[in-house]
Every structure is written in C-alpha cells, then in structure tokens.
C-alpha cells in the first residue's frame, strides 16, 4: 500500500474462476476506488487484465448491487424483496438451523458453494468450518476440474502440473480442449515466445475456437473421440519405434496394457473414429516424438463427458509414455492447484454427508434421495440456477415452498430470485484474501482497498457472526482474516520458504519456492516423491447421449450440443446478467453448421428453437463453420432473462454423473434438435 499525495494505491489480485489470477493495483481517492489496472510488475500477468475485469469497478459501484440484507416479499422467483437488518436476518437463519440441529436433522441443511470467489480465505475457510461443526450436508464441488484431476492422478500420483511458464521452452505445443486465447489469455504470450523460437502449436478441439484460428494447426476431432486419438498416436509411436524402452521400463508401469490397447488402432481406424485424416495423426505423433520438448496443455473442456475420466487418463499418458517430463518445457500442464495445495495450511475438514453438486435439482425434487430431505439451502460463491445442468429441475427445487433458501451474493442472481433471504457480500476490493492460483505458481495477497459498501460483509465475517448467533465457539472462527492468512502461510512447507505475510503485504505477490527449471515427476519434490507413472489399458467408449452413442433419443435429437465459454466480457455466470458485459447483440446465439442449417430451412440470423426432453430455448441462429456438421454450440454463462423461455443453455444439458457420485456432470454429452421458430 502506497500513498501519493491524496491518492492511495493498494495491491491485490483477481478472484475469478480463471487460471490467470491477475495481479492488480487499485487507486483510491477519498475512500472511493477510482481506478483498477493490472500490476505491470507481475511476471505472469504482466500488467494486463481481461475485458471483464477491466470494468470491475463498474460492478463494485453498480446501482443494482445488494447492499443490505433482503427478505422475500413476493412469490419465489419474482425477485420481490424488502430490506431488513443483519440482526433480524441472522436470528432467522440461526433459529431455523438450531431447530433442525436440535431435532437431529442437521443434514437437512445443505451448504452449496462453488468458485464465485477462488481465494483461499473467502472461498470458504470460515464458512466451511462453521457448517462442518454444525454437521450440515455438503456438496461435492466437482462440477469442474475434479474429473481431469482424478485422471491425471491415476497416471501421475500427486498430479503436479508442469509450470505453465515453461511452455516458452517447448518446441511442440499441443493445446488440447482449451481455448487459451479467451480463457487463459496470459499464457498466450509465453506460447508466442516459444513460436518465435520455432515451436509448432497444434490445437485439438471439436470447435474452431479463437485459439484454433491462431494456431499453426487445428485438429477438429469429432466430439468425445479424444481417447481414440490418443490410441492412434500411441499406435504410431510404438509401430515406428519412437518411444524409449529404457524410459518405459524404468519410469512407467502398465506399458504392456497400453501397447495392447493401441495395437488395433492404426491411423486409419483412429481417423475413422475421430474424423481426422490418418496422415494428420501420423504427423502429430512424429512431431511429438522428434521435436521436443513436447508440452501438452489441457484444462477442463474434455472432462465434461461420460468418458471424461478416460479422456483425462489418456491425455496424461501421452507425455508419460513419450518421456516428455525429462525436459524443461515438456510434460503436461493442467491445473497448478496441487502446488499451493501441498504448501498451504488449511483447517482440517470434518466428515459430512456429501452429494454431487450437479445433482442439486434431483436432490431437491426427489426427497427419497435424501434422508433427511433438504429443508434449508445456504448458497454462497455460487449461482446454481445458472451454472448447473438440468436447469429446469434445479428451478423446480428452488420453487419449493417448504425449502428455506439463503443466498449470499452481490446481486439478485437467478438463484437469489428464489431465495427467502439474500445477504450482501463484499467484492474483491473490499476484503482480505490469499489468492492461490490454478494457472501459475504465484501467490498473491489481496488487501481491501475500500471499506465495504453499505452493509456488505466478507464470507469470513458472516461465518463469525452466524457462529456467535448459534452459540458455536471454535478457534478458527475466532481468528481474524489477517490471522487466518498468516496461519495458512505458516505450514513450514519448503514451497513457502521466504514467503511471509509481511513480504506479501509489501510486494503483493511471490512465486512459490519452486525452481524455475523444475521437472515434476522427474525431480524429487517435498510431498511428491518421484514414482513410476502408471500407464495402462485404454478404451474408446462414446457416451450414451452422443451422436452414434446408441441412445434411443438419437432419432429425435440427432445433434450434439456443446456449451462454450466464448465471450471474453463475461465467460462466467458472474457477469452474465450485466448488460455492459454482454455482446453487442445482447443475446446468446446458437452456432450451427451450414449443412445442418440448410437441411432444416434455417438461415443465418433467423430465430430457432433448440430442444430436448429437458427443456427448450428460442435463440438466434448463427450459421458458422466454427462448428462441424452434427454439432451445435450455445455459450455458457447467460442468465435466465436471456431467452423468451426465461432459461439458458443449462435447461438442455446433461446432469448425469458416475454411479459413484464422483466427478463432473456430462454437460457435453447432450443431444438436441433445432428447428425454425
């Protein structure tokens, strides 16, 4: 924090669900934040912010922001509320919670949280502790990221990612199912640095994204055929003697099983399964093996399928089999969250009843699934009515008159419209947080630049006040925010050597104490000993609700649907309801290939209805060759008001998860039909 004349500059960092966690600087004049800009000193984000965060102060001072507790005064979903005081709001919540606790039905309380803020503190340390002590039900927060993590862990053990900055040293770069230029924009300059030194960039994606258009090569594979591509690549690598037998013998297990799985997947068969020319598969295998270092970058796009875990395993096996980890600039870069996850000290979680968050609609509308059924829903850092699949069932659950719903948010979101109480939350420039990124290795301290507007509270303070109202005494809930941050930094882990609260307060950010030339899974690291990488059998299995997957619905719904993060002014649902962040047209469109459009009498710019048994939407058609025949795309993140039906793309998407209730829902395994409106 520095003072220049009457101005104050405060260091912080972005909290959004994004791999970049941009460092920023806030200028404050007379207690008002007047400017927010990127911190030019940060080695990864380098002084730039994304288009949505460039206007973050508009969000802070938006006239629609919730600044006092609100109580519902009309029907659920009407958005009609009246202001009340904090004392009354907390007494109401605590009284209802105490009644359920005293009746032995604490599990009838469900805490629902997601990634609306991703700081180590405000994402939920204190609120998690409170609901742990209460014994409430909790959600498995696995809507994104967990399936790919489990797949990587199956191969790598502790799934440490390659340092994304090391991509500058690569000479073959494969961006697999990730739209880097839109959703991970600060990585792109490192990729361009590698290209300037001769690197070749291949994008593997069913959709011709902005990143695919900027790459050297785009492999537009059929949706969900990723495992078939990996099997074809391994077949070529094995057939042509491009793998190191010594590496495979010394550093991996399960090569025989993988080799056997790939034996029948000659490029011709892999090409038929993926829609790619056999010679393209041959060339990619040759390049990955002979033009190293080879760096694979993948995030969460490909995991949202029935075979998502197998896709994640398959992608992780490629650099393991190739031995790409031996070189700086080689390996697999996924989420970097395992690095700070090893280092930071967070309160131990207590066991609780868990349900996969994707099944919220089912849990709320089918009481037989829960014993006891959910009677009090407490939502923070999330907008489940917008982000969850099978949206109509989620809304039906929120409409239950016997469900008491509390939503903590900055705006009356699609979910808050159904709440009985809405509690005002602070924004990132109004509270403390420790930012532990999942796209690079730099921690950042976020200092509050201004006092909370109105009566807004940080999540941590809300937890403390609610604990007092419930009569709960606990050391974690009696610690202030700065103390909790100090506690997290006091683990003694070597990755935190030299990183203190005082240093972060002075400098704003610090790289984890990890050598820049580190080679995960080759170099021994604290908490992640080097172990043999686990290869093994792979199987290409189309999901049931896919084109060619054998679904009985395919005759009626012959098109595959993917929901994309594609508009750079909002991407997440956090901004989907703010007109200033929407495209000029002010509405989402449905992208459809010319062949599919002409067969249905659809022309560019015409209204269409897209439907399946879950729901329907009326949208404007965008005829585009960015999507391939048989595939349509609708952007993710829009709020319900974006269509005449009062719904968005998740009214159509598939909420199914695995039988073990683990992992991401199968968003992208969704079949639809499109007709002229």
pLDDT digits (tens, 9 = 90+) for 285-313: 999 999 999 999 999 989 999 999 999 99
Residue 513, pLDDT score: 97
Q: What is the DSSP string of 394-456?
A: HHHHHT-TT-EEEEEESS--TTGGG-SEEEEB--GGGS-EEE--SSSSEEEEE---SPPSTT-
Two structure tokens written together for 187 = 């990585």
- Exposed/middle/buried for 453, CB within 10 Å: 0-12, 13-18, 19+? middle
pLDDT reading at 356 higher than 70: yes
Q: 380: domain CATH number?
A: 3.40.50.740
In a domain, 541, yes or no: no
- The answer to whether residues 566 and 402 touch, using CB atoms and an 8 Å cutoff, is no
Residues 154 and 291 in one domain: yes
Kindly state whether residues 466 and 589 are assigned to the same domain: no
Query: Using CA atoms, how far apart are residues 426 and 554, in angstroms rounded to an integer?
Result: 46
Inside any domain, residue 656: yes
**544-554 pLDDT, tens digit each:** 999 999 888 89
- Residue 48 domain boundaries: 2-60
In a domain, 38, yes or no: yes
**317: which DSSP letter?**
H
Q: Let me know whether 356 and 452 are in one domain.
A: yes
| Residue 533, in any domain of the structure | no
Instruction: Give the domain-ending residue among 448, 469, 498.
Output: 498
| One domain for residues 347 and 311 | no
pTM reported for the whole predicted model: 0.96
CA distance 607 to 598: 14
Residue pair 564/635 in contact by the 8 Å Cβ criterion:
yes
Pair 485, 564 in one domain? no
In the prediction, which pLDDT does 567 show?
Answer: 61
Query: Tokens at residue 446, please?
Result: 């976020």
Are 125 and 182 in a shared domain?
no
Between 2-11, 105-114, 334-343, 495-504, the lowest mean confidence (pLDDT) is in 2-11
Q: 132 and 154: one domain?
A: no
What is the per-residue pLDDT across 178-237, written as a single tens digit (0 to 9) for each? 999 999 999 999 999 999 999 999 999 999 999 999 999 999 999 999 999 999 999 999
For residue 457, the 8-state DSSP code is B
d(CA 92, CA 106): 16
The verdict on 356 and 470 lying in the same domain is yes
Asked whether the beta carbons of 435 and 441 are under 8 A apart, the reply is no
**Dist CA 495 CA 142 (whole Å):** 26
Work out the pLDDT band at 568, boundaries 50, 70, 90. Answer: low
Segments in 78-118 forming alpha helices (H): 86-102
How far apart CA 652 and CA 557 sit, in angstroms, is 12
Per-residue pLDDT tens over the stretch 618-644:
999 999 999 999 999 999 988 899 899
pLDDT 10s digits, 134-149: 999 999 999 999 999 9
Residues 399, 76 contacting (CB under 8 angstroms): yes
Q: What is the DSSP letter of 161?
A: P
Separation between Cα atoms, residue 4 and residue 520, nearest integer Å: 43
Tell me which residue of 380, 389, 403 sits closest to 360, measured CA to CA: 389
Euclidean distance between CA atoms 471 and 94, whole angstroms? 9
* Contact status, residue 351 vs residue 345, Cβ threshold 8 Å: no
pLDDT grade for 578, boundaries at 50, 70 and 90: confident
- Per the document, the length of the chain is 677
As a whole number, the mean pLDDT across the chain is: 95
Residue 500 CB-half CA count within 13 A: 4
* Same-domain status, 156 and 266: yes
Q: How many angstroms separate the Cα of 489 from the Cα of each of 161, 347, 474, 596?
A: 21, 12, 20, 55
- Pairing, β 433-435 against β 442-446: antiparallel
Specify which residues 218 forms β-bridges with: 203
Judge whether 440 lies within some domain: yes
Residue 600: CATH number of its domain: 2.40.40.20
* Final residue before a domain boundary, out of 305, 334, 363: 334
Residue where one domain finishes, among candidates 472, 498, 524: 498
- The Cα–Cα gap between 237 and 127 comes to 50
Do 450 and 569 share a domain, yes or no? no
In a shared domain, residues 468 and 614: no
Nearest to 354 by CA among 547, 132, 549, 189: 132
DSSP result, 480-537: -HHHHHHHHHTS--GGGTT--HHHHHHHSEEE-S--TT--TTTS-BTTB----EE---
User: Helices 267-274 and 226-239 sit at what angle, rounded to 10 degrees?
Assistant: 170
- pLDDT value at residue 551: 85
**Is 137 within the bounds of a domain?**
yes
Query: Is residue 503 assigned to a domain?
Result: no
What's the CATH code of the domain at 217?
Answer: 3.40.228.10
Report how far residue 130's alpha carbon sits from residue 127's, in angstroms, rounded to the nearest whole number: 5
Lookup: tokens for 237: 């690598």
> How far are the Cα atoms of 2, 4, 408 from residue 449, in angstroms, in the given order?
11, 15, 21
Token output for 363: 């849990």
List, in order, residues 6 or more apart from 548 with CB less than 8 Å away: 542, 554
Q: Find, among 523, 424, 443, 388, the residue nearest to 12 by Cα.
A: 443
- In three-state form (DSSP H/G/I as H, E/B as E, the rest C), the secondary structure along 590-638 is EEECHHHHHHCCCCCCCEEEEECCCCEEEEEEEECCCCCCCEEEEECCC
Q: How confident is the model at residue 581 (pLDDT cuts 50, 70, 90)?
A: low
**pLDDT at residue 370, rounded to an integer:** 59
Question: What percent of the chain shows pLDDT beyond 90?
Answer: 91
Residue 176 contacts residue 204 (beta carbons within 8 Å): yes
Looking at the structure, do residues 21 and 79 belong to the same domain, yes or no? no
CB 91 within 8 Å of CB 469: yes
Which pLDDT belongs to residue 207? 97
**Pairing state of beta strands 533-534 and 509-511?**
unpaired
pLDDT at res. 569: 59
Domain count, the chain: 4
Which residues pair with residue 633 across a beta bridge?
562, 591
Cis peptide before 242 (omega within 30 of 0): no
On the question of pLDDT at 571 being above 90, the answer is no
């Amino acid at each position: 924090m520095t003072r220049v004349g009457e101005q104050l500059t405060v260091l912080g960092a972005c909290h959004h669900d994004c791999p970049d966690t941009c460092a920023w600087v806030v200028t404050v004049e007379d207690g008002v934040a007047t400017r927010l800009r990127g911190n030019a000193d940060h080695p990864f984000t380098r002084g730039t912010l994304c288009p949505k965060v460039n206007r973050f102060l508009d969000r802070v001072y938006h006239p629609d922001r919730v600044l006092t507790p609100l109580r519902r005064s009309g029907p659920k979903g009407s958005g009609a509320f009246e202001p009340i005081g904090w004392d009354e709001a907390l007494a109401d919540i605590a009284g209802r919670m105490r009644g359920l606790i005293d009746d032995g039905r604490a599990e009838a309380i469900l805490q629902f949280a997601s990634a609306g803020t991703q700081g180590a503190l405000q994402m939920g340390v204190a609120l998690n502790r409170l609901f742990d002590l209460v014994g409430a039900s909790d959600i498995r927060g696995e809507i994104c990221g967990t399936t790919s993590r489990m797949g990587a862990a199956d191969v790598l053990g502790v799934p440490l990612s390659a340092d994304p900055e090391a991509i500058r040293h690569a000479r073959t770069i494969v961006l697999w199912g990730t739209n880097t230029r839109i959703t991970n924009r600060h990585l792109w300059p490192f990729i361009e640095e590698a290209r300037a030194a001769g690197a070749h960039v291949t994008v593997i994606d069913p959709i011709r994204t902005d990143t695919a258009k900027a790459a050297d090569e785009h492999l537009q594979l059929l949706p969900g055929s990723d495992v078939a591509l990996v099997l074809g690549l391994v077949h070529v690598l094995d057939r042509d003697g491009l793998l190191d037998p010594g590496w495979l013998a010394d550093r991996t297990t399960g090569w025989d099983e993988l080799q056997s799985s790939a034996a029948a997947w000659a490029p011709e068969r892999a090409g038929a399964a993926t829609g790619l020319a056999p010679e393209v598969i041959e060339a990619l295998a040759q390049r990955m093996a002979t033009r190293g270092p080879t760096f694979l970058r993948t995030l969460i796009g490909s995991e949202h399928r029935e075979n998502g875990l197998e896709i994640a395993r398959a992608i992780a096996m490629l650099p393991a089999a190739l031995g790409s980890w031996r070189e700086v600039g080689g390996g697999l870069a996924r989420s970097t969250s395992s690095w700070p996850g090893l280092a930071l000290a967070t309160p131990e979680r207590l066991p609780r009843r868990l349900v996969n968050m994707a099944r919220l609609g089912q849990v709320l509308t089918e009481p037989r699934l829960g014993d006891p059924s959910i009677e009090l829903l407490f939502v923070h850092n999330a907008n489940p009515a917008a982000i969850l699949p099978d949206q109509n069932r989620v809304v039906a659950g929120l409409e239950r008159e016997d469900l008491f719903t509390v939503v903590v948010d900055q705006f009356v979101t699609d979910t808050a419209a159904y709440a009985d109480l809405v509690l005002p939350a602070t924004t990132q420039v109004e509270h403390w947080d420790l930012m532990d990124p999942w796209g690079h290795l730099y921690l950042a301290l976020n200092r509050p630049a201004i006092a909370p507007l109105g009566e807004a509270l940080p999540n941590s303070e809300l937890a403390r006040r609610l604990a007092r109202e419930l009569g709960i005494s606990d050391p974690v809930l009696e610690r202030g925010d700065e103390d909790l941050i100090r506690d997290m930094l006091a683990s003694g882990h070597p990755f935190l050597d030299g990183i203190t609260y005082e240093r972060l307060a002075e400098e704003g950010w610090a790289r984890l104490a990890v050598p820049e030339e580190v080679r995960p899974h080759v170099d021994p690291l604290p908490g992640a000993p080097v172990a043999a990488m686990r290869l093994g059998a792979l199987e290409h299995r189309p999901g049931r609700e896919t084109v060619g997957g054998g679904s009985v619905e395919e005759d009626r719904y012959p098109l595959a649907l993917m929901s994309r993060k594609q508009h750079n002014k909002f991407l997440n649902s956090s901004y989907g309801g703010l007109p200033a962040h929407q495209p000029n047209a002010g509405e989402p469109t449905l992208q459809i290939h010319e062949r599919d459009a002409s067969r249905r009498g659809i022309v560019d710019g015409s209204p269409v209805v897209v439907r399946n048994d879950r729901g329907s939407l009326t949208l404007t058609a965008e005829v585009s060759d960015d999507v391939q025949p048989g595939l349509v795309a609708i952007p993710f993140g829009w709020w319900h008001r974006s269509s005449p039906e009062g719904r968005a793309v998740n009214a159509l998407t598939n909420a199914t998860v695995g039988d073990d209730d683990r992992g991401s829902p199968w968003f992208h395994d969704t079949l639809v039909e499109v007709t002229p409106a």
